[in-house]
Structure formats: structure tokens, C-alpha cells
């Protein structure tokens, strides 16, 4: 189940990059039209890009590792993306959160368990 969670996190990361790019485009159009708060939207877009890349990296790591730590870090990255990524990224980060829980709650044997 941890491998499936990693794949879900990878898909969420790719979708989050698309959502962050849309957020950056909207913020850029707002800045070009000198709209109030456009800089905030651009900042949210960059926060979404950072969180999306984190989800991709942690999803790839969690698909191949036997520990729960990548899942825990993936949950934290999804929460970070939901807070600092804007609305579109937050919607996609729910999928990353589900993938993080799938990884964190799956039990994989480690070298300590084989004593």
C-alpha cells in the first residue's frame, strides 16, 4: 500500500504543478493590470510550486523505501502546500495528503523487526 501511496503522491505533485502555474498566470495577469493583491497571488503560486516539487520528490522516495518517514514528511508537505499554495493547489494537496496517509499507515518490515 505504500507504493500506491507514493504513486498517488506523484500524481498529486504533477497536478499541483499545473495548479501552481495557473495561480502564477493569474497573479501575473493581475500584476500586469496593476490589481491590488497581485503580488500575494504570485507568492502563493511560488509556494505551490515548492510544495508540488516536494510532493514529487517525497512520492518517489516513499514508493521505494521501507520506512514511514517519507509519508510523514509528505503529509507535512501537503499541509504546507494547502496553506501557502493558494486555493487551486490546496484542492490538489488533498490528494497528496491521502497519499501521505497511505504511506505513513502502511506497515513495512525493517531490519529491526527481523530479530
Contact call for residues 74 and 9 (beta carbons, < 8 A): yes
CA distance 13 to 26: 20
Q: Report the distance separating Cα 76 and Cα 113, nearest Å.
A: 26
Alpha carbons 16 and 95: distance in angstroms, whole number: 10
Check: CB of residue 96 under 8 Å from CB of residue 48.
no
How many other C-beta atoms lie within 10 A of the C-beta of residue 33? 8
The cell for 85 is 499554495
**pTM of this structure:** 0.86
114 part of a folded domain: no
Q: Count of domains in the chain?
A: 1
45 occurs within a structural domain: yes
Q: Is the residue at 95 inside a domain?
A: yes
115 part of a folded domain: no
Whether 20 maps to a domain, the answer reads yes
Predicted confidence pLDDT, tens digits, the chain (115 residues): 888 999 999 999 999 999 999 999 999 999 999 999 999 999 999 999 999 999 999 999 988 888 889 999 999 999 999 999 989 999 999 999 999 999 999 866 666 555 4
Residue range of the domain that includes 59: 2-108
Amino acid at each position: 500500500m505504500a507504493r500506491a501511496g507514493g504513486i498517488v503522491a506523484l500524481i498529486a505533485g504533477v497536478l499541483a504543478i499545473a495548479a501552481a502555474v495557473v495561480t502564477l498566470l493569474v497573479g501575473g495577469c493581475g500584476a500586469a493590470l496593476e490589481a491590488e493583491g497581485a503580488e500575494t497571488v504570485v507568492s502563493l503560486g511560488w509556494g505551490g510550486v515548492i510544495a508540488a516539487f516536494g510532493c514529487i520528490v517525497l512520492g518517489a522516495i516513499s514508493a521505494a523505501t521501507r520506512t514511514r518517514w517519507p509519508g510523514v514528511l509528505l503529509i507535512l508537505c501537503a499541509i504546507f502546500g494547502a496553506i501557502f499554495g493558494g486555493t487551486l493547489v490546496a484542492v490538489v494537496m488533498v490528494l497528496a495528503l491521502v497519499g501521505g496517509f497511505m504511506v505513513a499507515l502502511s506497515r513495512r518490515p525493517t531490519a529491526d523487526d527481523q530479530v
